[in-house]
Amino acid sequence: MNRLSPDEENAQNVVSGTAMPHLRYRISFGKDGPLRYCSHLDLMRVWERVLRRAGIPLVYSQGFNPRPKIQIAAGLPLGYISTCEILDIWMENDPLEPGSMLSALRLAAPQGLTINTIHLVALSEPALQSLTASACYQVTAKNSAIEPGMLEKRVRELLSQEHVWRERRGKRYDLRSLIRQVEIMPGTPLMLQMTLELSPQRGTGRPDEVLDALEIDALSAVVTRTTITFEASPDS
Amino acid sequence: MHTPEQIERALEQVLLRVERPGRYVGGEFNAVSKPWNSIQVRVALIFPDIYEIGMPNLGLAIFYDLLNRQPGILAERVYLPWVDMEAMLKRDGIPLFSLETKHPVSDFDVLAISIPYEQLYTNVLQVFDLSGLPLRSIERDETMPIVIAGGHACYNPEPLADFIDLFVIGEGEEAIIEIAQVVGEMKAANLSRNEQLARLAQLAGVYVPRFYEVDYQEDGVVAAIKPIREDVPFPVLKRVVPILPAPPTRFVVPNIDTVHNRAPIEIMRGCTRGCRFCHAGFVARPVRERSIDEIVMAVEDAVAQTGFEEIALLSLSSSDYTDVLNLVRTLGERFAGQRLSINLPSLRLETTSVELMESLRNNKRGGFTFAPEAATERMRNIINKSMPDRQVLEVARAVYSKGWRTIKLYFMIGHPSEKLEDVKAIADLSLAILAEGRNLHGRKATVNVSVSTFIPKPHTPFQWVPMDAIEQITAKQSLLKRELCGKGLRVSWNDPDETLLEALLSRGDRRLGSVIRRAWELGSRFDAWNEWRKHDAWVQALSEAGLDFHHYTHRTRPVDEVFPWDHIDIAVKKSFLAQDYLMSRRGETRVDCREKCFACGILPKLAIMRSKIPADAWKCPPVAPKIEPDEVSAI
């Protein structure tokens, strides 16, 4: 087979629609309102449609069933609110300035999807999911009858243990090793702030598991993810 | 009384305790929330099944778009809660509510219920119950919403006659606006419910069951149906739009997965093929096509407005769209490289179909679907869906050779003149098609065979035919299951109990009202869901009413029997259907009526309407001299 010159190869790629990705953007967004009840998998589909409405041409995978190339840093459980989710998208070319992309995305977003920022990142950067280290959550326990003093005691007890063994989906794990910090915030209704591991190596802590360990009804609590921290944040 | 704020607060307490709470929150892209207090007429558009089933329904999407364009009208969506949510609503005393503004259903002026198929009947009662409304039309007074219903099942409105205030027979695009306007005008008039309905009964296509009465013979057959007021139409002629209005494109985009995740664009309404089992083929006449320009613009607009990854070009028979090749070529070129999947379902089993699908440039993951319905020439002649046998394998070869690996086939069993050898032929044909696939793709080739069971639907030439005996259906299904097992084959079929229930409900008369109510009291709902259908409840409800399945489903009818739906005029003459039925008994076929007019009746019935539009708008050829065979002249 004859080898093609880079120019010819490029031209062929363009014709056959298999051009290499040119640009990778990182979008920070919030999820609230009706989207609070949308699962992680459904959210990916919501994003694909937002991007299509905004006229942003995504790179697609090859093969029998091509998928658009988008990555979300960390799946947010259904029912949680977030102000700080992170999405990477790969674009075929550059038809829009980040500023106009931002306004196009805002126009195309459904109720509950807030676009915070968008910026270019290096194509060579590792996958988003491999970059995260921890996340902060704010919890409002609306119907909790628990006394603040009692809660303080339970938090102290939880944090003083070396291991807190629990079972989730038939798997035994140590919840304590996934908790970095739990704090009670002043005021009513009852508010907690917690920092949990969000790491491909060390594991992911779930706020509902912490609430359960503290004997707070997780289903009537409102949980908001407020920060995702990267292991060695290359952008900040 | 519940305010939207109270409902919102109550919902927040239960949403995380039910499956897929995204069904109940609304707020989707393109959803329309109008200011409740400054709007005169408020319409709840209700699909009586869960969100995932109801959202993709094109009928309601059309009405949502049309009504919300009217300045004095608002339309909001309502779906049924799944059983877990139903328990929560009942536990906490939350009434059924609309997704847009969370108003209780009982706060609306009009409830417009879409009823495309009969298995939704018990769900309709469920809607009333969860809304705190009395079930029966005569128990609801003028302080309550007016309940209207439409959709293909309503061409026989009688089984729901007790529960619905008025039916729109036929196409609703114009009628629903007129109804909303009249409801608005009557708001200040202080009329009784009877007076309100009498006024609405003046609108074309509107059928108010309480203004008609039915007499029965001793054997349970209908003796006569008569209007009891002079000012109501008899028979009630279906409503038709002469030219299709512009299609909706700003579809509500769901945030959760639904049964069809796509923007549907209707390219053509009606069908001229005349397949004798097909309800839609007779009730949806005449044919009306949209222009290629209008379709391309609609697709462009729908993609821009919704971001859907898939577009479905809907019609009863895509291959019959006049310039279908030009349409798909234009679309294929226009959207090349945009990662848009454009679906063209309902293609005929012919090699041109492969060319059509190639032009759309989709990926080939979805497979290729055909509906041969029958596998022997004898049966194809009986049902009037002819095609040469050798053509089938040729087409299969072409499909596989162009890169598709899956062929889906729709067959129908259970016509009473079908023999086991006709069913065996279905298995043989499916295996022969798989063998073609194996030649090209080895073990990656698959054939999916979907086998439905014949139901003698009202308003079709087969309305006189009995349903097949249950033992026969079971024997035929067993044969297929036995013959069609192994790698690369997948067979699906309908539970015979489900078919029996659908036959009962689609052929029912007014006496079924008490049966539906009783079955619902015994726990029946979601009858379209195999795991929820309670066959025993229906058997018990029928027997308590002194009725049985057989009368409705398994009798051969004399050609002059009065049917419970005879006062509903679909514009096709009963004598034409009878003539076609007798032809089927002789194995005689009719060609596509675009080629030759068989005088089905739509042209004289809709003559005034047709005189105002271009002569070729409905694709009807010039009318041949009328010849009525002697045997049906009595009807």
Residues of A in contact with B101 (CB under 8 A): none
Read off the tokens for B194.
Answer: 């009877």
Q: Do B339 and A60 touch (CB under 8 A)?
A: yes
Predicted complex ipTM:
0.92
> What is the pLDDT at residue B624?
57
Domain count, chain B: 4
- Please give the structure tokens belonging to residue A125: 């950067």
Residues carrying CATH 3.30.70.580, chain A: 17-129
Rg of chain B over Cα atoms, rounded to whole angstroms, equals 24
Q: Spell out which residues of chain A touch residue B257, defining contact as CB-CB under 8 Å.
A: 41-42, 45
Domain of B618 in residue numbering reads as: 574-632
Q: Which of B88, B102, B258, B339 to mutate to test the interface with A (most CBs of A within 10 A)?
A: B339
Q: How far is B313 from chain A (nearest CA, A)?
A: 19
Q: Indicate if B480 and B588 belong to the same structural domain.
A: no
Q: What is the pLDDT of residues B36-92, one digit of tens each?
A: 999 999 999 999 999 999 999 999 999 999 999 999 999 999 999 999 999 999 999
State the amino acid at position B276 in one-letter form: R
Q: For testing the chain B interface, which of A45, A47, A217 should be mutated: the one with the most B CBs within 10 Å?
A: A45
Report helix, strand and coil shares of chain B as percent, to nearest 5.
Answer: 40, 15, 45
B362 touching A (Cβ < 8 Å): no
Q: For residue B533, is it within any domain?
A: no
CB A25 within 8 A of CB A101: yes
pLDDT tens digit sequence for B479-500: 999 999 989 999 999 999 999 9
In this structure, are residues B532 and B522 in contact, taking their beta carbons and an 8 Å threshold?
Answer: no
* CA distance, residue A95 to nearest chain B CA (Å): 15
The per-type count for chain B, helices as H runs and strands as E runs, is 22, 19
CB contact under 8 A, A46 and B25: no
What distance, in Å, lies between the first and last C-alpha atoms of chain A? 47
Is it the case that residue A10 has pLDDT exceeding 60?
Answer: no
**Cα–Cα distances in Å, from B444 out to B400, B439, B595?**
11, 10, 41
Task: Tell me, yes or no, if B21 comes closer than 8 A to chain A by beta carbon.
Answer: yes
Distance CA A111, CA A84 (A): 16
Query: What CATH class has A132-230?
Result: alpha beta
* pLDDT at residue B632, as a whole number: 52
Residue B566 lies in a domain: no
Q: Let me know: does B44 contact B76? Beta carbons within 8 Å.
A: yes
B583: left (phi over 0), alpha (psi -120 to 50) or beta: alpha
The residues near B625 (Cβ < 8 Å, ≥ 6 apart) are none
Report whether pLDDT(A1) > 60: no
Cβ distance B26 to A112 less than 8 Å, yes or no, reads no
Q: What number is the average pLDDT over the span B331-356?
A: 90
Contact B27 A78 (CB under 8 A): no
How far is Cα A14 from Cα B18, in angstroms, rounded to an integer?
A: 48
Q: Look at residue B375 and tell me if it is in a domain.
A: yes
Query: Can you give the CATH number for the domain in which B61 is found?
Result: 3.40.50.280
B136 lies in the same domain as B188: yes
Query: What residues does B312 pair with on adjacent strands?
Result: B264, B343
Q: Give the residue from A18, A41, A44, A49 with the most B CB atoms within 10 Å of its CB, the best one to mutate.
A: A49
Contact A50 B307 (CB under 8 A): yes
Provide the 10 A C-beta neighbour count for residue B596: 12
User: Please, which pLDDT band fits residue B627 given cuts at 50, 70 and 90?
Assistant: low
Among B residues 271-310, those touching chain A with beta carbons less than 8 Å apart: 303-309
Chain A residues touching B55 at Cβ < 8 A: none
Q: How do residues B135-194 score in pLDDT, each as one tens digit?
A: 999 999 999 999 999 999 999 999 999 999 999 999 999 999 999 999 999 998 999 999
- Whether residues B499 and B453 fall in one domain: yes
Q: Which residue of A has its CA nearest to B303?
A: A53
CA pair distance B426, B378, nearest whole angstrom? 13
Question: Is the Cα torsion angle B391, B393, B398, B404 positive or negative in sign?
Answer: positive
How many angstroms separate the CA atoms of B213 and B223, rounded?
11
Average pLDDT over residues B433-451: 96
Same domain, B251 and B355: yes
CA B283, CA B166: separation in Å to the nearest integer? 19
Helix boundaries (H) for chain A: 6-16, 40-53, 98-108, 148-160, 207-213
Contact at 8 Å (CB) between B115 and B148?
no
Among chain A residues, CA nearest to B16: A219
* Cβ–Cβ gap A39/B256 under 8 Å: yes
Q: Determine, for residues B309 and A48 on separate chains, whether the beta-carbon distance falls below 8 Å.
A: yes
Q: Is residue B525 part of a domain?
A: no
Q: What does the pLDDT read at residue A142? A: 78
- Residue B480 in any domain: the answer is yes
Q: Which residues pair with B492 in a beta bridge?
A: B450
Q: pLDDT for A44-96, tens place per residue?
A: 999 999 999 999 989 998 877 788 999 999 999 999 999 999 999 999 876 67
The answer to the question of residue B518 being in a domain is no
Distance from CA of B487 to the nearest CA of A (A): 21
Q: How far is CA B410 from CA B315, B378, B484, B492, in A?
A: 17, 18, 14, 10
Tokens of A84: 């700080």
- Contact status of B615 with chain A (Cβ, < 8 Å): no
My answer on whether B20 and B167 are in the same domain is: yes
Least CB–CB distance from B363: residue in A17, A46, A65: A65
β-sheet bridge partners, residue B166: B148
Statement to judge: residues B415 and B499 lie in one domain: yes
pLDDT at A18 > cutoff 60:
no
Predicted confidence at residue B187, as pLDDT, reads 93
Query: Tokens 């002697």 belong to which residue?
Result: B630
Of the candidates B549, B529, B531, the residue with the CA atom closest to the CA atom of residue B540: B549
State the Cα–Cα distance between residues B379 and A63, nearest whole angstrom. Answer: 42
Query: Do B347 and B389 reside in the same domain of the chain?
Result: no
CATH class of A17-129: alpha beta
Region label for A107, one of left (φ > 0), alpha (ψ between -120 and 50) or beta (otherwise) = alpha
Contact A79 B16 (CB under 8 A): yes
A66 contacts in B (CB within 8 Å)? 339, 363
CATH of the domain at B421: 3.30.750.200
Which is nearest to B433 in space by CA: B422, B418, B445, B424? B445
Give the residue carrying structure tokens 């149906």: B225
C-beta of residue A114 within 8 angstroms of C-beta of residue A36: no
Interchain contact, A110 vs B339, CB within 8 Å: no
pLDDT for A15 equals 40
Please identify which residue in the block is written with the tokens 């512009």.
B246
Question: How far away is chain A from the Cα of B409, in angstroms, using its nearest Cα?
Answer: 22
| Res A141 pLDDT > 90 | no
The contact set of A with B (CB < 8 A) is 17, 33-39, 41-42, 45-46, 48-53, 58, 60, 64-66, 68, 78-79, 108-112, 219-220
Q: How many Å lie between the alpha carbon of B323 and the closest alpha carbon of chain A?
A: 29
Q: Where are the beta strands (DSSP E) in B195-267?
A: 206-207, 212-216, 222-227, 236-237, 263-266
Q: What is the percentage of chain B residues whose pLDDT exceeds 70?
A: 98
The pLDDT-based confidence of A38 (bands split at 50, 70, 90) is very high
In the block, tokens 């394998």 appear at B393
- Tell me the pLDDT tens digit for each residue of B530-585: 999 999 999 999 999 999 999 999 998 999 999 999 999 999 999 999 999 999 99
B531's CB contacts (< 8 A; 6+ apart) are none
pLDDT of amino acid B361: 78
**Whole-number percent of chain B with pLDDT over 90:** 92
CA A111 to each of CA A39, A81, B104: distance values in angstroms, whole numbers, following the listed order: 15, 13, 22
The average confidence (pLDDT) of chain A is 88
Strand order of the sheet with strand B341-343? B263-266, B310-314, B341-343
B411 and B310, same domain (yes or no): no
Which of B212, B237, B262 is the C-terminal boundary of a domain? B237
Whether residues B214 and B273 fall in one domain = no
- Measured between CA atoms, how close is A57 to chain B, in angstroms? 8
Per-window interface: B 38-77 vs A, CB < 8 A:
none
Cβ neighbours, 10 Å, residue A184: 14
Same domain, B220 and B170: yes
- What pLDDT score does A3 carry? 41
- The helix/strand count (H/E) of chain A reads as 5, 11
The DSSP annotation for B9-43 comes to HHHHHHGGGSS-GGGGT---BT-----GGG-SEEE
Does B626 have pLDDT greater than 70? no
Task: Give the residue from B29, B262, B363, B446 with the most A CB atoms within 10 Å of its CB, the best one to mutate.
Answer: B29
A41 contact residues in B (CB cutoff 8 A) = 257
| Tokens found for residue B588 | 């005689």
Q: In angstroms, what separates the C-alpha of A139 from chain B's closest C-alpha?
A: 15
Q: Are residues B320 and B456 in the same domain?
A: no
**Residue A120, number of CB atoms within 10 A of its CB:** 12
Partner-chain contact A38 B256, CB within 8 Å: yes
Cβ neighbours of B307 in A, within 8 Å: 48-53, 108
Are residues B247 and B369 both part of a single domain? no
Tell me, what's the pLDDT at A4? 42
Residue B531 lies in a domain: no
